[in-house]
Amino acid sequence: MTEHKTCECLLDYFNDTLTDEEKSQFEHHLATCKDCRDELQELNMLTADLPFSAELTEPNEGMKDRILASVFEESEVPEETETPIVIKESKRRNYRWLQPLLAASLLLSLSANAYFYLNQNGQEISNPPREGTDEIVKQVQLAVSEGYEGTAEAAMIKKEEGMALVVQASNLKPLTGNEAYQVWLIDEAGEKFRAGTFRTNTEGKGAVTYSVNYEGEHNWTTIAVTLEPTPDSQQPKGDIVLASQL
Amino acid sequence: MSEHDIELYARLQAKDKRALEILYDRYEKLLFSFAYRMTGRRDLSEEIVQDVFLKLWTKPGIYDDTKGKFSSWILTVTRYAAIDCLRKKDDNHVELEDRDALKSSGPSVEEVAEWKEKRHEIRTAINQLAEEQKQIVELFYFKGLSQQKIADTFEIPLGTVKGRIRLALKHLHKKIGGIKEGRDHSYDRT
Ligand SMILES: [Zn+2]
């Protein structure tokens, strides 16, 4: 590129339409060409106010919870497999509490171990669950351990590709530092399996969906939620906060 | 007294989630509205806002005060995220339309003060531009098109694109200045 040609890249540099190579070439050029630097500065100055012309547009419902959950998730997630749950319109009233959670998990397209905030003011997320062939096979209320507070419900959902576990908790004590709530499934042999990690929002609510696909056959006897010092405990280190027979 | 952006950013750097949340609350509407102004789609606008906050949270040192005011910087990041999104979703589709029709805006508590002040002035100034200049600003700034695409759209020689863009932007800047002055002037008299 001749000098003159390079100067002509300024607007495309500003709009980020250059290839990586052109871009780095232009950045080198920028260091030596005062005209381009001045012009770029002028361009920034002339356009600085333009974003403020935007008409106020109300954000999507539930957007804050989705975004914060996914931002925090991205940075701290241990690798585990969790998938969105698809469930058909419920005819049974007693798992209505699942609806917002299921809807949220659909919206999130959970691909990794996801904990997420429920809507702060308890609003339901409006998108209805999609059609599907899934069936809730088991649903339990977890009992709280002495010295702790909180409530939780769990449901096992049979999906075409396996079993999914959904846990939703509220009124839990706030977490500090790296602490996390960890869900465990315990089988007949007393072996404990990680089944989802979650954190609570400012109101002490938290939830997680987890796809249960451990090797071998397991006859689950117990589900428990522990308070762990970090989100990556492979075996429980903290106290059991909530538990139920399955 | 609310904390300054820069203090919140410092806390965020130390992985304080609450600080990110406060910044989120402060900028959600502005960034979403701006992204929507650029893309015209709610789903994409949410993706864009998410992208911005993800960068903020996961890329340490992405902002520092050599990059100017935090609000200007985060808007620039949003614009690039939106441009990127527009390119991925819709490569060759260019619309010339006036999306500026005024709609009533609901009450808002968390608005960035600067936005409230400037929105009306800038919109008025844009509306005062000649139609062609308005569209140049639209395609260049809000759609992030290359010079070549702008030349193609307006069927003008590539060599003249830059001149027209600068002229339109300078014209707009002057008009904004004029409106501000007019406002200050009328304040003086009352
Ligand atoms: Zn140059």
Domain count, chain A: 2
Q: Tell whether A209 and A183 lie within a shared domain.
A: yes
Contact A71 B20 (CB under 8 A): yes
Q: Where is pLDDT greater, at A42 or A78? A: A42
DSSP A101-152: HHHHHHHHT--S-EEEPPPTT-PPP-SPPPP---EEEEEEEEEEPTT---EE
Domain ranges of chain B: 1-106, 108-190
Q: What is the mean pLDDT of residues B91-96?
A: 46
Q: Tell whether A97 and A32 lie within a shared domain.
A: no
**Range B1-106 classified under CATH 1.10.10.10:** no
Residue A132 contacts by C-beta under 8 Å, 6 or more apart in sequence? Answer: A86, A87, A88, A159
Q: Tell whether A130 and A41 lie within a shared domain.
A: no
Q: Tell whether A67 and A184 lie within a shared domain.
A: yes
Burial of B87 (0-12, 13-18, 19+ CB in 10 A): middle
Widest CA span in chain A: 77
Q: Tell me: the pLDDT tens digits for B22-31?
A: 999 999 999 9
Burial of A181 (0-12, 13-18, 19+ CB in 10 A): buried
Pairing of strands A240-245, A151-159: unpaired
Give the sign of the dihedral formed by CA B70, CA B74, CA B75, CA B76. Answer: positive
Percentage with pLDDT > 70 across chain B? 84
Q: Tell whether A66 and A22 lie within a shared domain.
A: no
Q: What is the 3-state secondary structure (H, E, C) of chain B?
A: CCCCHHHHHHHHHCCCHHHHHHHHHHHHHHHHHHHHHHHCCHHHHHHHHHHHHHHHHHCCCCCCHHHCCHHHHHHHHHHHHHHHHHHHHCCCCCCCCCCCCCCCCCCCCCCCHHHHHHHHHHHHHHHHCCHHHHHHHHHHHHCCCCHHHHHHHHCCCHHHHHHHHHHHHHHHHHHHHHHHHHHHHHHHHC
Please name the CATH architecture into which domain B108-190 falls: Orthogonal Bundle (1.10)
Q: Tell whether A91 and A119 lie within a shared domain.
A: yes
Q: Which domain holds residue A12?
A: 3-49
Tell me, what CATH number does A156's domain have?
A: 2.60.40
Q: Which residue out of A12, A20, A44, A57 would a mutagenesis test of the B interface target, given it has the greatest number of B Cβ atoms within 10 Å?
A: A57
Q: How far is the CA of A15 from the centre of ligand 1 (A)?
A: 16
Q: How far is the CA of A23 from the centre of ligand 1 (A)?
A: 13
Q: What pLDDT score does A155 carry?
A: 83
Q: What pLDDT score does A200 carry?
A: 83
Q: Tell me: the pLDDT tens digits for B54-74?
A: 999 998 889 988 888 999 999
Q: Tell whether A89 and A210 lie within a shared domain.
A: yes
Q: Tell whether A187 and A148 lie within a shared domain.
A: yes
Q: Tell me: the pLDDT tens digits for A81-133?
A: 444 444 333 333 344 455 555 554 444 433 333 333 333 333 333 333 344 55
Verdict on whether the full-model pTM lies above 0.90? no
Three-state DSSP state, A44: helix
d(CA A160, CA A86): 10
Q: What pLDDT score does B187 carry?
A: 52
Q: What pLDDT score does A134 carry?
A: 63
Which of A16, A47, A53 is nearest residue B83 as measured by Cβ atoms?
A16
Q: What is the mean pLDDT of residues B158-169?
A: 96
Residues of chain A neighbouring B178 (CB-CB closer than 8 A): none
pLDDT at B179 over 70: yes
Task: Catalogue the long-range contacts made by A88-91 (C-beta closer than 8 Å, 24 or more residues apart).
Answer: A88/A129, A88/A131, A88/A132, A88/A133, A88/A134, A89/A128, A89/A129, A89/A131
Which of A43, A66, A71 is nearest residue B57 as measured by Cβ atoms?
A71
Q: Tell whether A45 and A59 lie within a shared domain.
A: no
Q: Which amino acid is at A216?
A: G
